[in-house]
Amino acid sequence: MNFLPNIPKAIIPILVINFISTLSFSIVLPFLFILVDDYGGNAFIYGILGATYSVFQLIGSPLLGTWSDKLGRRPILLLSQFGTLVAWIIFLISFYLGEASIIDINNPLLGAFVLTLPLMALFFARALDGITGGNVSVANAYLVDVSTKEDRTKNFGYMSVSASLGFVIGPALAGLLGNTSLGLVLPVMSAILISAIALLLIIFLLKPEEKEEKIEPEKITTTKKSSFRDVLAIPHIKLLLLMNFIIFLGFNFFYISFPVFIILEIGWNEFELGLLLTFLSLCMVLVQGPILSRLSDKTSTNNLMIVGSVILAVGFAIVTLEATIYLYIAMVLVAVGNGVLYPSLIATISNHAGEEHQGATQGYAASSGSLASIMGLIIGGVLYNLLKSTLFIFSAVTIFVLAFMALRLRIVEKEHKLDSQSVDKLIKTSKPVVVNCDPMTVPKKFVSHSDLEEGSIS
């Protein structure tokens, strides 16, 4: 029996690699703060550790993407996955470095923490994984190469599902492995093994570059490169980019404080946290699949953003109630809210960008999200030391602001549509004006677009 009847065979290897790459990280996620705490860190250090990966990925991903265009996807995927494998080996080494203290800090704002040798090893491992962490972006580029234009959206959906499945299995597996006699060492060893398998799959399973469509230089036409000013000139795009920044900021406030709160304040272990994260991931798979598909057919993305932001904010706030039943209810609301809000926002940004500025707009949106993630992880770590569980209310208020911004967007879009309709009506009812004009004296701004499209891409 064929269990994958609708998935093209060409993309199955990259889906498996994407799943395994996600699994290797999610298997360590539930106990990462426990490790930071054992090594002398606190919530602030945990936030800095998360931001370290994001900062180095922000630096490395564009370089790896450029190299993949020149050298091909497969070699860069190999380099990226090898970097991840070495990073997990360094992670494992940190268990055997002792507890040598480098500096002891006790600050009212940052809290009390000790920088130790194993903690510095964790930072080095996350930095290495970040700088070589272009495997997701390069895998997406590979997917574009082997997909037809008609199947591209559907194939990216398969990529999302493969990543979500990694987050479903990883935390649960971490909880089980972490409760053995080997303790936290076994999940890290498992991450090493999984990363090694992914490396072998790239070598032996992933097809080389003949699968990709080659474009001859003489066939490339000139297109104007969109500047940041061009993107900001798109109607409503400033508001949408700000909304994108806020959702990443608010979610990372929650992301950095949630495991710290669960472990230190409620007293759960990595197994209980792993089960909760698995439950969250399962809910996300359901929401991003059939539920969102049905909702998007029945209402607008603006309405989905308004409803999604309210649900997500409520989910964040309910976490403060602490009881197990409320935590699981909160996870359902977080999954529904984020699963509805974020895809709707990305779709709205894409719709406003149009074909001409699509790539640049998505790039700037990704950059704003990365910047917000870095800020959220660092500031969130500081705020948790000051606010404790109140930070979840702060996160909820941050996300709740998006509902008003989405409502504002709906109003201005409606006004813009009415203005456009009025102009169209005026044009249709106006009498044509005939002007005799020498073509040679027509200003360049009236020259047809096709007359300007000469030359080649540089």
pLDDT averaged over consecutive 10-residue blocks of the chain (458 residues)? 61 82 83 91 92 84 76 86 92 90 90 93 92 72 73 70 83 84 88 89 75 42 63 88 94 93 91 89 80 77 92 96 96 91 84 73 78 92 92 96 93 68 45 42 39 38
Residue 437 pLDDT? 41
Helix, strand or coil, per DSSP, at residue 453: coil
Helix axes 43-71, 237-260, angle to 10 degrees: 130
The alpha-carbon radius of gyration of the chain (Å, integer) is 25
Residue 150 pLDDT? 65
CATH number of this structure's domain 8-208: 1.20.1250.20
Structure tokens at 213: 């469509």
Structure tokens at 295: 């909702």
Residue 41 pLDDT? 93
Look up residue 107 and give its DSSP letter. E
* Contact status, residue 259 vs residue 392, Cβ threshold 8 Å: no
Helices (H), 147-236: 152-178, 185-204, 228-232
Residue 218 pLDDT? 44
Residue ranges per structural domain of the chain: 8-208, 225-426
Residue 92 pLDDT? 94
Domains 8-208 and 225-426 share a fold: yes
Helix, strand or coil, per DSSP, at residue 33: helix
Residue 394 pLDDT? 95
* Contact status, residue 222 vs residue 457, Cβ threshold 8 Å: yes
User: Taking the CA of residue 449 as centre, how many other CA atoms within 13 Å lie in the half-sphere pointing to its CB?
Assistant: 4
How far is 132 from 126, CA to CA, in rounded Å? 10
What is the reported pTM?
A: 0.76
| CATH architecture, range 225-426 | Up-down Bundle (1.20)
Residue 449 pLDDT? 40
For residue 29, give the nearest of 248, 358, 346, 270 by alpha carbon: 270
Structure tokens at 243: 């909304």
Task: Give backbone dihedrals phi and psi of 198, rounded to 5 degrees, phi first.
Answer: -60, -40
How far is 387 from 377, CA to CA, in rounded Å? 15
For residue 194, give the nearest of 26, 77, 64 by alpha carbon: 26
Residue 369 pLDDT? 83
